[in-house]
Amino acid sequence: MTDSRKILISSALPYANGSLHLGNMVEFIQTDIWVRFQKMRGHDVLYICGSDAHGTPVMLKAQRLNISPEELVTQFSQQQQQDLAEFGIEFDNFYTTHSPENQQLSALIYQRLQQNGDITKRKIEQAYDPVKEMFLPDRFVKGVCPRCQAKDQYGDSCDNCGATYAPTELIDPISAVSGATPITKESEHYFFDLQNYDQALQQWTRGEHLQPQVANLLEEWFAEGLQAWDISRDAPYFGFEIPDAPGKYFYVWLDAPVGYMASLKNLSTRDPNINFDDYWGTDSQAELYHFIGKDIVYFHSLFWPAMLMGAKLRTPTAIFVHGFLTIDGQKMSKSRGTFVKARTYLDHLEAEYLRYYFAAKLSSGTDDIDFNYQDFISRVNADLVGKVINIASRCAKFINQYNNNQLSAKLPKHHLLTTLMAAGDDIAQAYEKREYSRAMREVMQLADQVNQYIDEQKPWVLIKESDKQQAVQDICSLGLNCFRLLILYLKPVLPQLAQRVENFLQIPELTWKDKDTMLCDHVIASFQPLMQRIDKTKLAAMQKATEHEAASEQTS
């Protein structure tokens, strides 16, 4: 075992104006597996998150529903936390960016940047809704693409041809808020001069804080030259007012990552054993990791470390970027009925099926992963039920029926058990590097070997011979010890299954160091089914419910 490490881990904060979907769950499951693994290793780990609460979309949705933005955020935050809990995602703190801690920390960072001379002001022209009397974010202007003439495109990029442009370039633009034709209006904005940190950021991005493919992507942005970042928005806006700038608000992306700090600050005020500066102070020796999707790389790998550098705060140890989720090879789409909400999945299927399926596909890279329905059924049923659970069901019945639930006092000498115990180090290394698919392959190869051993020993034949009773007990005791090790290795991915197995084997909560021990002369409980196969009709019902939800939203 390595020495205990102090680790702070975050997932990107989910936006609090809608329900979570399976694409969100890729990140939460990936992070939670890593958190659980590190905790099983005995490290001092905190997993923090919260709701990303600010911005125009939240404000406008609240207006449509005739409630306050705060009420909207609370509603969706509670719903999201419920979904995450049912997927087995276990936070040490889930907070919100709309908090006094975040307001104080955002102001502190801004003021330090201002003192450095990193904040400048200049006038810019923006699309303005004359009916709603508000400046419009790019995504709230729609019109005809100036490149390919596709209709109903957003003001920043075209879904049809991929072109990017300014909202003022759209043909026949309209406001997505009121339907009025936007006018162009001038406003003074505040900018963070990101280019001041060009050299420091290049050094940081090449310092093994990012995956190679992410660092390579950033090289392109450095080559183009870093641009000043607009960090202000005009009223009306749901967010924090900029100190000494009435009517100007911090753009949501300034205070969103500060939400990681605020969530920890909030936790530290409730737990006297947690010191905020141990994690975020300039002298911090703690490890700090962010798990994010590849769509928000720019914010996390350039803006965020530059803000921290300028504010004289420590930067992350590493940022782990994952790819998107496709459904049956296609981009998630409401029109195709493949935009699966987390709640819809939970209404029909066990959370741990998806946790395992994602783990079996996730690597340390940024490649997209595909949720293929047929592959999902066959992989979960074959691997978890057909291989792993099968070992317990085959062996337990002999121990329950013929040995009064008692495992052998001494296990037979066999290379199988030593092979499984030795595999723990390699599986741990795979988890550490976020190579979950490799870890799952190794576990399933080991499960194949255990099943092969039981097939060769044939306890169901031996039990018929009176002088082979001890041999049967020994074979099945060895099989159940191997099963315990397999579950230990799967526990970061399948915590609920692990808990059922701990109850069945009548053992304390498994930790990683338990791989070096065996169960001998030990009493187990009567075997009960630990996991059911995926029912195809339930998966079909989930698909149908998803299509129905999409159709309802399009007609509403």
CA distance 8 to 6: 7
Looking at the DSSP bridge assignments, the partners of residue 508 are: none
pLDDT of residue 513: 97
Report pLDDT for 2: 52
Characterize the bridge pairing of strands 232-234 and 229-230.
Answer: unpaired
Identify the CA nearest to 12 among candidates 257, 358, 228, 237.
257
The one-letter amino acid code at 100 reads P
Q: Is pLDDT above 60 for 251? A: yes
List the single range of 26-30, 72-76, 278-282, 432-436 with lowest mean pLDDT: 278-282
Lowest-confidence region among 274-278, 331-335, 521-525: 331-335
206 sits in the region (left: phi over 0; alpha: psi -120 to 50; else beta) called: alpha
CATH number for the domain running over 121-192: 2.170.220.10
Contacts of 390 (CB under 8 A, 6+ apart): 451
Name the percent of the chain lying above pLDDT 90.
89
Residues forming beta bridges with residue 95, ordered by sequence position:
50
Stated pTM of the model: 0.95
Q: Which fold has domain 381-516?
A: Isoleucyl-tRNA Synthetase; Domain 1 (1.10.730)
Mean pLDDT of the chain: 95
Mention every residue, 6+ apart, whose C-beta is less than 8 A from residue 220. none
Query: In this predicted model, what pLDDT tens digit does every residue of 217-232 receive, in sequence order?
Result: 999 899 999 999 999 9
CB 305 within 8 A of CB 316: yes
Residue 167 confidence (pLDDT): 85
pLDDT at position 137: 85
- The residue type of 530 is L
Using the Cα atoms of residue 117, residue 119, residue 122 and residue 124 in order, give the sign of their dihedral.
positive
pLDDT of amino acid 555: 59
352-357: average pLDDT: 98
Q: What would the mean pLDDT of 251-278 be, rounded to a whole number?
A: 96
CATH code linked to domain 6-111+234-322: 3.40.50.620
Q: What is the mean pLDDT of residues 189-196?
A: 97
Q: What pLDDT score does 1 carry? A: 45
CB 436 within 8 A of CB 362: yes
pLDDT for residue 556: 53
pLDDT of res. 165: 80
State percent of the chain over pLDDT 70. 99
pLDDT, tens digit (0-9, with 9 covering 90-100), for 62-107: 999 999 999 999 999 999 999 999 999 999 999 999 999 999 999 9
Position 287 pLDDT exceeds 70: yes
Lookup: tokens for 65: 């529903």
Write down the pLDDT at residue 157. Answer: 78
Q: What average pLDDT does the segment 444-468 reach? A: 96
**Per-residue pLDDT reduced to its tens digit, 149-185:** 999 998 887 877 777 787 888 999 999 999 999 999 9
Strands (E), 102-156: 119-129, 134-135, 141-144, 153-154
DSSP 296: G
Give mean pLDDT, residues 247-268. 97
pLDDT at residue 428 in the model: 98
- Each domain of the chain, given as residue ranges in start order, spans 6-111+234-322, 121-192, 381-516
Q: What is the pLDDT of residue 553?
A: 75
CB of 190 within 8 A of CB of 160? Answer: no
pLDDT of residue 294: 93
Distance CA 488, CA 79 (A): 31
Element (H, E) at 459: helix 459-462
3-state secondary structure of 48: strand
337 falls in which pLDDT band (50, 70, 90)? confident
φ, ψ of residue 389 to 5 degrees: the values are -65, -30
Looking up tokens 């609920």 gives 496
Cα–Cα distance list, 48 to 98, 140, 193, 257, 498 (Å): 15, 31, 29, 12, 23
Mean pLDDT score, 105-132: 96
Question: For residue 459, is the peptide bond before it cis, meaning its omega torsion is within 30 degrees of 0?
Answer: no
